[in-house]
Structure formats: structure tokens, C-alpha cells
Amino acid sequence: MCTLPEPRRLPGDVAMWLFILAELTVFAILILAFAVTQRLQPEVFALGRAQLDTSTGLAMTYSLLSAGALAALAVQQVRLGRARRGSVLLLGAWLVALVYVWIKLTEYRHLIDAGLGLERSTFFTLYWIVTGFHFLHVLLGLVILAWLGWRCWQRQYLAPRLSGLESGVLYWHMVDLVWVVLFALVYVIR
Amino acid sequence: MNSSVRLWLCWAGLMVLSLGTVWSGAAGVVVLLAMVKGWVIVDGFMELRHGPWKWRVAMLGWGLVVLAGIVGLSA
């Protein structure tokens, strides 16, 4: 007797995956524009990057990735029928992600106070555009996590109808994926 | 392996790899670590390890293309 392999399942809604691909394409263009300009003006970028604190970038990375892990754990708990536990994990993800927002806003304020605004140099023009665009996505992700947490608490997501929850959490993972590349490119690569 | 344990391992791996990124600083290593981190997020958090291969290729391919572009332009 043979057993058929389990069909490969795509978590979430296909529309969310298409949206994620579209978002990733936009980010790819911005990231490659940053890399091309860095190639053309290496001194300007080295000077600009020296103004950024790598440990701050690392702290933001930890915040975003930890929030992603908590959100993924929340999905698992809801699948097991533990909606309230999932809701608490989503609240945890939301709070941990808030740390990123606080650090990023502190960094932005510090840069503005130091006169390192959008028009300071090509590096900072691209820095503000790329990280600002990503920051807006984090803010939207926070709204989504809060909404998912509230819906979980109300036991609105019951297995196997978890497409909405999975799609919302996938959006957060997309934000994480982009940040992994941004962190390397903007803060670390010398 | 329990799926929660797997997720915690993914998280721990990402923390260590991020620290390695800062510690190394060398372009080639940083890009390689970013690639591994992207792979952990796609397969672990986004659960594409057992998902349809076309979506998996698309997501992993994004990271590969972008990071290859960065390496190519930095060389």
C-alpha cells in the first residue's frame, strides 16, 4: 500500500502573495538604486554610513525579527485552537515591534538635529527615501498586527479558516525580509 | 521536531547571524549572511519549505537577485 505525498500548501491568500511580490519588486528597485549610487560615489557613502550607528541597526533588526517570530508562533497556536494564546503572542509581537519604531524615530531625530537631512548628501537622500519607505510599511504592519490580535481575542479565526490571519502575518514577514537586506546594505557593508 | 521548537530555532539562528553580520562587516560575508537570513525567513517564518515550489523559488529568488546585484555593483 502506498501513501500519497501531502499536497504542498500555500499559507494565506494568493492575493497577499501577489501583493508581497509587487512590494518586493519596488523595494528591489530602491535597493539596487542605492547600490548603483554607492558604486558611483563611494566616498560620499562611506562618509554617510560613518554617521550611522551599527549597534542601533542591530537593535532594530532584533526587534523586527523577534516580532516576526512571535507572530509566526501566534499562527501556530491559533491552528491548535488556542486563539487567546495566539492573541497574547500577537500583542507581544506588537510591543516588540514598537521598540523598532521608538529606536528608528530616535535615530531620525538624532540625524535631523545633526543636520543630516534629506538634502545633506546623495547617501542621506537615499537613506531617508529607502528607510522611510520601509518605516511606513512597519507602521502599516503594526496596524495589521493589532487588528489580527483583536480578532484572535474575539476567536474570529478558527482552523481551518485562517487565511486572513496567515496573510496578515505574511505581510510582517515581508517587512522582515526587506529589512534583512536593508540592514546589510545601509548600515554594515563597508 | 515540534513546529514551535523549529520556529524558536529559526529565531535563535537569525539573532546569531545578525550579530555575525555586524561582527564581520566584510561585504562578501555580510551578503552571504543576509542570504541565509532571508532563506530562514522564507522557509521558516513564511512556511514555504513545504509550500508550492514556484512561490518558494520566487521568494528565495528575490533575495538572490537583489543580493547578487549588490555584490556585482560593489565589486
Q: What is the CA radius of gyration of chain B?
A: 13
Q: Do A180 and B74 touch (CB under 8 A)?
A: no
Domain with B65 in it: 3-74
ipTM of the complex: 0.94
The domain at A24-188 falls in which architecture?
Up-down Bundle (1.20)
Q: Do B70 and A185 touch (CB under 8 A)?
A: yes
pLDDT at A1: 58
Q: What is the CA radius of gyration of chain A?
A: 19
The total of structural domains in chain B comes to 1
A39 burial (CB, 10 Å; 0-12 / 13-18 / 19+) is middle
If one compares B70 and A63, the residue with the highest pLDDT of the two is: A63
A10 touches chain B (CB under 8 A): yes
Tell me the pTM.
0.94
CA distance B8 to chain A (A): 7
Tens-digit pLDDT profile for chain A (190 aa)? 566 666 788 998 999 999 999 999 999 999 999 999 999 999 999 999 999 999 999 999 999 999 999 999 999 999 999 999 999 999 999 999 999 999 999 999 999 999 998 889 999 999 999 999 999 999 999 999 999 999 999 998 887 789 999 999 999 999 999 999 999 999 998 7
Which residues does chain A have within 8 Å of residue B50's beta carbon, measured at their own beta carbons? Answer: 6, 8-9
Q: Rounded to whole angstroms, how far apart are CA atoms A166 and A78?
A: 10
Q: Rounded to whole angstroms, how far apart are CA atoms A164 and A12?
A: 7
Using DSSP's 3-state secondary structure scheme, residue A161 falls into strand
Q: Do A31 and B70 touch (CB under 8 A)?
A: yes
A189 touches chain B (CB under 8 A): yes
Number of A–B residue contacts, CB under 8 Å: 117
Residue B22 CB neighbours (<10 A): 18
- What does the domain layout of chain A look like in residue ranges? 24-188
CA distance B67 to chain A (A): 8
Q: Rounded to whole angstroms, how far apart are CA atoms B47 and B57?
A: 13
CA distance B19 to chain A (A): 7
